[in-house]
Amino acid sequence: MEVLFLLWSFVLFSGVTALPVDIDDTDVIIVDAGENSIDGDDFAVDVSSLGPEAFGLPQNESGDTVAEWTESSLMNPEEMGGYAEGDILMPQLGRNGMRETTSRWSNGIIPYVIDTTYTKEQRDNIMRAIADYHRLTCLRFVPHSGQTDYILIKNTNTGCWSSVGRIGGRQEVNLQAPGCVSKKGTILHELLHAIGFLHEQSRPERDDFVTIQYGNIKTGAENNFKKADAKRTYDYGVSYDYNSVMHYSEFAFSKNTQKTIVPKMKDMKLGQREGLSRGDVKKVNNMYSCKKQEPTTGWVGQVWQNFMGSKTRRSVMI
Ligand SMILES: [Zn+2]
């Protein structure tokens, strides 16, 4: 009961509307085969809106910038890299070749390898992020055991970055320690790219929800605020989600500590990195045809249904 009270205090007073981090074993949601019914085709993820700047090689300059990130920084570490939109890096197809599409992960299974250079605490943060996907979606991260396609979670001095969707073969998700593994939300964010999602504020309809303050954006970084093509993107049944872990912070790419993105809805915060939003979960489950129900039992379920599911929040969250 005490734990529940503390949790409610956290949820009510922190203003954080993402799902809390840790649960004990009694609250683990058991997934039965009926819920975990992902269809097995290789449905395409359209990455054409990223443009040629998304294709390239990891850069130590981005790592040096991310190395300066601290918990008190105005922006998120994945917004500090020199890659497309800060943290998207796609491998090229041979000589100057670019992909139009990548794939979903077959049956929602994502084999992974984690770099051995992380500390126990950093590795635990990565595992907590993976546990959230297991608890809330049908995706399953499994230790790599010879599968052709898998992700390698790396700790190189090149910042936070990932490609979008399944590329084929080994693909890398770089989470430079400590900056990219300090907050679970940053890990969830980069994994959501690998799962197949783009940034929330690049949605075609974003100008109805936020105002981009171009005068505050660093010279040369304006490209990071492009919108995806409405004809080539699909919203997976979730409307614009200010609370998405894929939304930039208000200060992304700011040159002057002034906001670069201002929400049109009053008192809305942007760029939380505490956990997956309800919309994030719904999008993953819709992309992967997952029939898993929202949690309803244990304290996770109580929070989910009573707080995240409340009518007043619904219009904002999903
Ligand atoms: Zn990103």
The closest of 154, 191, 174, 185 to 272, measured between CA atoms, is 185
Distance from the alpha carbon of residue 5 to the mean position of ligand 1, in angstroms: 34
Q: Does residue 309 sit within a domain?
A: no
CATH number for the domain harbouring residue 196: 3.40.390.10
The total number of structural domains in the chain stands at: 1
Res. 131: pLDDT tops 80 = yes
Distance CA(267)–CA(213), nearest Å, equals 17
Res. 120: pLDDT tops 90 = yes
Phi, psi angles (nearest 5°) of residue 207 = -70, -15
Q: Does residue 208 sit within a domain?
A: yes
Q: What is the pLDDT of residues 56-81, one digit of tens each?
A: 999 999 999 999 999 999 999 999 99
Distance from the alpha carbon of residue 14 to the mean position of ligand 1, in angstroms: 24
Q: Does residue 298 sit within a domain?
A: no
Distance CA(190)–CA(245), nearest Å, equals 10
Provide mean pLDDT across the span 246-253.
96
Q: What is the pLDDT of residues 252-265, one digit of tens each?
A: 999 999 999 999 99
Which of the four pLDDT bands, split at 50, 70 and 90, describes residue 43?
confident
Please enumerate, by residue number, every residue annotated as part of a binding site for Zn(2+): 189, 193, 199
The pLDDT of residue 299 is: 60
Q: pTM of this prediction?
A: 0.84
Cβ contact 103:42 at 8 Å: yes
The pLDDT of residue 234 is: 87
Distance from the alpha carbon of residue 108 to the mean position of ligand 1, in angstroms: 20
Whether 190 sits among the annotated catalytic residues: the reply is: yes
Q: Does residue 284 sit within a domain?
A: yes
Distance from the alpha carbon of residue 313 to the mean position of ligand 1, in angstroms: 25
Distances (CA, A) of 98 to 89, 92, 103, 137: 12, 6, 14, 30
Res. 182: pLDDT tops 70 = yes
Q: Does residue 5 sit within a domain?
A: no
Please enumerate, by residue number, every residue annotated as part of a binding site: 189, 193, 199
Q: Does residue 235 sit within a domain?
A: yes
Q: What is the pLDDT of residues 201-240, one digit of tens each?
A: 999 999 999 999 999 999 999 999 999 988 888 899 999 9
Q: Does residue 213 sit within a domain?
A: yes
Question: Which is the catalytic residue, given 190, 200, 250, 274?
Answer: 190
Domain of residue 149, residue span: 44-289
The CB density around residue 27, as the number of other CB atoms within 10 Å, is: 15
Q: Does residue 153 sit within a domain?
A: yes
